[in-house]
Amino acid sequence: MLQRFVLFLCMLTAASAATPRILADVPIPTFDQKKINLKQYRGKVVVLMLFSTTCGDCIQSLDLMSKIQKDLGPRGLQVIGAAFDENASYAIEGYVQRYRPNFPVGFLDQAGAIKIADIPKDMRPFVPIVMFIDRTGTVRAQYYGNDAVFKQEDKAFRAIAESLLRFHPAAPPSRASEPRP
């Protein structure tokens, strides 16, 4: 019962982001000159965390995401991280070596982060930004670092991930329902 309440609360606070929507096709470069192609994770539940390499709260969320990946990865969940602060392309290698996440991490420029998270141009979002993407590539929930869900981040994010792991959508929403650039 508590899990359902937490999930309901989380879904209410997700209203600040346009969901559901098809995840934008934005490759995420890594420090070793590779790219994370999000399309390759279709069929899995994906938790995409956008963060700043200079954010203390982001480190805490990164640690939590490593635990969630360890616990739920065998059931079909994949966590992916992307830094998008001004110097992310230079700082990400040292950041990954220092904090050792157990999931793929790369970086985005500001335009890529805005596109993938569907951030309004006049908004300056709080980080981290956590997106929950179902098996079809549909963003089902998105939270900014100042959302109330972060007060019970562990319970809330696990509840959302668990619900998406149980949910098997027939098809993603049509392209007609996507926001226009």
Q: SS3 of 143, please?
A: strand
pLDDT exceeds cutoff 50 at 21: yes
Amino acid 171: pLDDT: 59
Nearest CA-CA partner of 4 in 155, 116, 177: 155
* pLDDT at 2 exceeding the cut of 90: no
| Domain boundaries along the sequence of the chain | 2-171
Q: Which amino acid makes up residue 1?
A: M
In CATH terms, the superfamily for domain 2-171 is Glutaredoxin (3.40.30.10)
The dihedral sign for the CA sequence 137, 139, 140, 144:
positive
Please report the pLDDT score of residue 167 as a whole number. Answer: 84
User: What's residue 173's pLDDT?
Assistant: 59
pLDDT by residue (tens digit) across 84-131? Answer: 999 999 999 999 999 999 999 999 999 999 999 999 988 989 999 999
Predicted TM-score (pTM) of the model is 0.86
Share of the chain above pLDDT 90, in %: 78
3-class SS at 152? helix
Has residue 143 got a pLDDT over 60? yes
CB atoms closer than 10 angstroms to residue 98 = 9
